[in-house]
Structure 1
C-alpha cells in the first residue's frame, strides 16, 4: 500500500512538473512574440534599462559573467559617424537643437580618441577592461568616459530620430529604419543604426555564475535577481537573433538586387522559405518584419516586406521584360521556352497566357495581325 501511494504521488508530481514546464515554455513564447512586435524605441529603452542596472554592471565589469558577442557581417552603420542636420521635422516635443548638439559632441569625441579606440573600448568593449584603463588608453578623464557611454545609450534609444524613415510619410503606417546594407571590401555588411544592436547578443557564462554562487559570492536575494536579469537578457537576445537572421537571409537571397540596385533583380522569396532556412516559424518572421525597413547600398529605403515578392508577380515581370526586349513577338509556347532558357523559370504555357492577359498584352496571332495592318 505504501509503495502504491508513493508511486502514485510520484506520478502526480511528474505530471505537475511536466505541466509547469509546458506552461513556462508557453509563457516564454508569448513573451517572445510580444517582444518581436515591440516598437524599436521601446525595445532600445528596455536594453538600456537592463544594461544600466548596478547588477548588470557588476556581472559585466567585475565578475565577467556577461559579455557581448557580435553577429557575423554586422557593424554600426557608417551613417552614425556623419553629422546630419537634415533631420525629420515630425519630432513632436523633442529638443532638436539639444539632440543635434549631442550628436556633434559624440562625433567630436570619436574624432579625438580615434575610430579604432572608439570601437575597441566603447562600441565593442573588450572583456575585463576597467573604466580607468579605458580613460588612460583614450587619453580621457573619467567623466568623459562616462559621457561617451551615456551618449551611446542616448543614440541607441533615439536612433529613429537620427535616421528617420521616409516610408512613413503619407502611408498611414509607421516604419522604423533599422539598418543600412553597406557594400564593403569583405562583402555586404548589415550596418545597424542603433549601437545596442550593433554590439550583438549577450553571452552569459552560466557555469561561472554557478561557481561564484557556490562560493557564496552572491546572496540568496541577489541570486534571484540575477536569474531574472538573465531571463530578460535572453529575451532581448531572442529578438536580436531573429531580426539579424532575417536580415542576413534577405541579404543572402537578394544579393543580385543589392549588387545592381535594379528592382527587376529581386527574386521570388516567401516568408515560409526564409523561416525554413533559418529555423523559425513564419509567424515570427511576419511579426519581426512588420513596420521595419532598411536602406539599400544605393540609398533607397525599402520595407522589409518588399523583399518577399510573390512568385506570380516575379514571373509577370519577367514576361513583361521578355516581350519588351524581344524583336519578334513570340507565341505563348515560345515565351515559355524563352523564360526557362533565359531565366531558369519553368512554368506552363497556360500560365504564360494568364500572365500575358493580366499584362493586357494580346495573344501572338492578334499581335501579328495588328502589326500587319
Structure 2
C-alpha cells in the first residue's frame, strides 16, 4: 500500500469515528483544510519536474476524490441517522383518539341581539333589515333632520364615494333608516291592496306597523364607551291610537325581561330628538346588585314627529306612534358587567370564551 492509499484509508477510518456533523468537519480539516495532508501534498508538487508533476498530481487528485467521496458518504449517513432519531422522537400513535376541535360560541353582542329580538318578537314586533351604506334622504331628511344638523358634519359621519353633493351616500349613523324603509314598503303594499294610486298620504285602514331594526352603525367616535362601529336597535310602533303610555309599558316590560329584574325602575326624562315630539331619554335603576341605586341611561324615545309620519306616506292626522333607540353594546356591558366597550371588538379569545 503506497502513501496515498494509506492516507485515503486513514481518512475513511477517521470519518467513520465522527459521531456528529461537527466532529466530521473537524476530521475533514485534517485532510482537506488549508493545512490538511492533501493540501500539503499539492503544495509539494512545486519542487517536482514537469513529468513528475503530471504523474504525482494525477495520483493526488485521485486520492483527494476518494477522500471527498468518503466524506460525502459519512455526511449522508449522519443525516439519515438524525432523521431516524427525529422520526422516533416525534412518532405519532395513530391508535390514540384524536383531539377534538374546540366548540365556538356566539359573540356576546350577538347573544344580546338575539335576546332583544326574542323579547320584542313575543310582543308582536317584526325584525327589519336594510343597507349599511345609506342615502342622505333615508338617514337624515326623512327623519326630520335639517341640513345644518351637527350629525351631517364630516367630523361626525363617514361619507362614502357615490351620489352627489345634494344627495350623498354615507355609512348609516343609526338604524332608524330601516324603520322608514319598512314603513314605506308597508304603506305601499296596503295602498295597492286598497286600490290607491300610490300618490298622496294614506289614511285608509291598514295593520299597525310594529317593528324593531337591529344592526351595525357607524360614527366618528372612539373611547372606552364608544366605537367607530357599534350596534343599535331602533323600535317603531305606528297605529291609529298608539300613545306615550304604550311606549312606557312596552319598554318597561322589555327592560325587566332583558335584565331579569322584576323590580327594575324606569325614568323618562324630557329631551329632544329631531324625529320625535315629545322626546325622552330612558334611564333604568336596579334595586339590588352592584349597580343598585344608580340611574343609567339606556335609550332615547318619543312620539314620532308628524313630519316623519308624512315621510312614511301616512296621514299624521290619523296615524300616530312612538319610536325608541338603544345600544345593544351598552346593554351587553350592563348585563355582563363589562367596563370597556373595546373588549367586544379586540378579538381576544380569552375574553370571548367566557360567553360560550
TM-score (norm 1): 0.25
Considering fraction of residues, name the structure with more strand: 2
Query: Comparing both structures, which one devotes a greater share of its residues to helix?
Result: 1
Larger Rg: 2
